[in-house]
């Protein structure tokens, strides 16, 4: 099981290193959106709340554009059948999730880093920001992986991902934006953040639970 999951992960990683489609899409999308935000808000005095909201809007939109390829790609190339025959469904999900986590890590790092540099935001609590991006990104990756398997065979699949993804992400976004704001505003440190982290953790746990229970039905033909 674990070996199969790692094999799926290695396969995706190798494919990605050859063409670099997903990473390039994510990074360029994030960069372009940060520039758009910068030009749109030039010299507008934004507070930490607005910066936190904008940063997460960028991350979530980039994710819905760039992370949905995991299963559509298999279906387009006709390799999903091979995968289905040789690997148990749980291992497929785990492997794809690992790869999506990697991509989300790159996305979160690039988006937050460039945003902070270009828009010029001070980060008094960098560790808090990093922890929020990590835990929020993990929840985002888990939900995106499950839903991109769901839409792999739907008409207009790519456009469907945000429609399915955004409503279920609301709890995650509320908590992540509040934590990011605390990290950008500073002053209170980590006090009062446990509610947000509990929500992020609960979201991740529930999504993974849902994936464990439902993925075989989504994946089996």
Partner 1 sequence: MVNVRRYRLVRNIVLATMTAVLLAGMLVPFPRIDDILGQTHRNLFFHVPLWFALMAGMGVSAWHAYRYLKTGDLVHDLRSNEAARVAFAFGLMGIVTGMFWARATWYESAGLWWNNDPKQLMAATQLMVYAAYFVLRGSLDEPVRRARLASAYNLFAAILVPLLLYVVPRQMESLHPGAEGNPAFSNLTAPAMRLVLYPAFATFIGLFWVIYTQRVRIALLERRSEPDL
The residue among 30 and 68 lying less far from partner 1, judged by its C-beta, is 68
Does residue 202 belong to the site contacting partner 1 (CB under 8 A)? yes
The residue among 6 and 202 lying less far from partner 1, judged by its C-beta, is 202
Does residue 76 belong to the site contacting partner 1 (CB under 8 A)? no
Among 2, 3, 45, 155, binds partner 1 (CB under 8 A): 155
Number of residues that bind partner 1 (CB under 8 A): 34
Give the residue among 193, 70, 67 at the shortest CA–CA distance from 130.
193
Does residue 102 belong to the site contacting partner 1 (CB under 8 A)? no
Give the residue among 170, 64, 72, 189 at the shortest CA–CA distance from 128.
189
- Least distance from C-beta 149 to partner 1, angstroms? 9
Q: What is the 3-state secondary structure (H, E, C) of 179-218?
A: HHHHHHHCCCCCCCCHHHHHHHHHHHHHHHHHHHHHHHHH
Does residue 156 belong to the site contacting partner 1 (CB under 8 A)? yes
Does residue 8 belong to the site contacting partner 1 (CB under 8 A)? no
Among 164, 179, 182, 184, binds partner 1 (CB under 8 A): 164
First to last CA, the chain: 20
The residue among 45 and 156 lying less far from partner 1, judged by its C-beta, is 156
Could you give the CA distance from residue 20 to residue 22 in angstroms, rounded to a whole number?
6
Does residue 66 belong to the site contacting partner 1 (CB under 8 A)? no
User: What Å distances lie between residue 171 and 113, 189, 205, 207, 212, CA to CA?
Assistant: 24, 22, 13, 12, 20
The token pair that represents 82 in the structure block: 């091979």
CB-CB neighbours of 37 under 10 Å? 20
Does residue 78 belong to the site contacting partner 1 (CB under 8 A)? no
Binding site residues, partner 1, CB under 8 A? 146-147, 150-151, 153-157, 160, 163-164, 166-168, 170-171, 174-175, 195-196, 198-199, 202-203, 206-207, 209-210, 213-214, 217-218, 221
């Amino acid at each position: 099981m674990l070996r199969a999951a790692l094999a799926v992960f290695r396969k995706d990683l190798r494919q990605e290193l050859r063409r670099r489609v997903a990473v390039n899409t994510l990074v360029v999308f994030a960069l372009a959106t940060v520039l758009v935000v910068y030009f749109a808000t030039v010299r507008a005095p934004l507070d930490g709340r607005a910066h936190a909201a904008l940063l997460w809007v960028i991350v979530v939109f980039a994710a819905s554009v760039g992370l949905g390829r995991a299963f559509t790609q298999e279906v387009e190339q006709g390799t999903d059948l091979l995968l289905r025959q040789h690997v148990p469904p749980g291992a497929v999900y785990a492997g794809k999730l690992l790869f999506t986590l990697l991509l989300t890590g790159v996305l979160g790092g690039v988006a937050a880093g460039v945003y902070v540099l270009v828009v010029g935001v001070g980060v008094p609590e960098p560790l808090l920001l990093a922890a929020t991006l990590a835990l929020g990104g993990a929840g985002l990756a888990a939900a995106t992986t499950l839903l991109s398997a769901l839409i792999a065979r739907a008409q207009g699949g790519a456009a469907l991902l945000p429609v399915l993804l955004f409503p279920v992400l609301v709890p995650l976004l509320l908590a992540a934006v509040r934590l990011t704001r605390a990290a950008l505003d500073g002053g209170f440190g980590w006090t009062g953040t446990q509610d947000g982290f509990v929500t992020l953790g609960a979201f991740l746990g529930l999504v993974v639970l849902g994936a464990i229970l439902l993925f075989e039905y989504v994946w089996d033909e």
